[in-house]
Amino acid sequence: MNFEQIVFYLLAAVSAASAVLMILQRNPVNSALFLILNFFCLGGLYLTLHAQFIAMVQVLVYAGAIMVLFVFVIMLLNLGDGRKLKETLGWKAYAAIALTAGLLLELLYIFVPATETISSQSPNAVEMGTVEYIGKVLFTKFLFPFEVTSLLLLAAIVGAVILAKKKVTE
């Protein structure tokens, strides 16, 4: 096993552990912090897969902007008292745990034998993850969908401004 695989498996383990800890936390701020750790680990996983652009977008957009929004909403809700959030474990929780364990066993059954025949990456995989390659493909092969998406976003912004605009009564 080479260094790159060791880093990949280490980041995957930390990512899985932080996802589980994020769900198990009672304090929403601690849960958000574990989600930030998970986003950084995913960015590292993308780097080990030679997808530099996706790794940077993951860190900038999700760990940066989206988590600021999450923390803002948590603070806006002012949850304060933990007794309001307390729930008892009913039969639904035990059924969810059993179904999750069953799904995990199925996934292990599917993917464990497949690890013997892992193929190597494409020879140009390192080139495909760069910003230059993505920009070149985006503005040549996918120019029309890119422009349609920009028009949809423009329409959404105009709609949001119209909906947020207050009427001034004279």
Could you read off the pLDDT of 13-65 as tens digits, one per residue?
999 999 999 999 888 888 888 999 999 999 999 988 888 888 888 888 888 88
pLDDT at 170: 59
Q: What is the CATH code for 1-83? A: 1.20.120.1200
Highest mean pLDDT among 10-19, 85-94, 110-119, 126-135: 10-19
pLDDT at 116: 54
Residues 44, 55 contacting (CB under 8 angstroms): yes
Q: What is the pTM of this model?
A: 0.58
Sequence spans of domains, the chain? 1-83, 86-116, 126-170
User: Is 60 exceeded by the pLDDT of residue 118?
Assistant: no
Q: Report the C-alpha gap between 116 and 6 in whole angstroms.
A: 18
Q: Report the C-alpha gap between 43 and 49 in whole angstroms.
A: 10
Q: What rounded mean pLDDT belongs to the chain?
A: 83
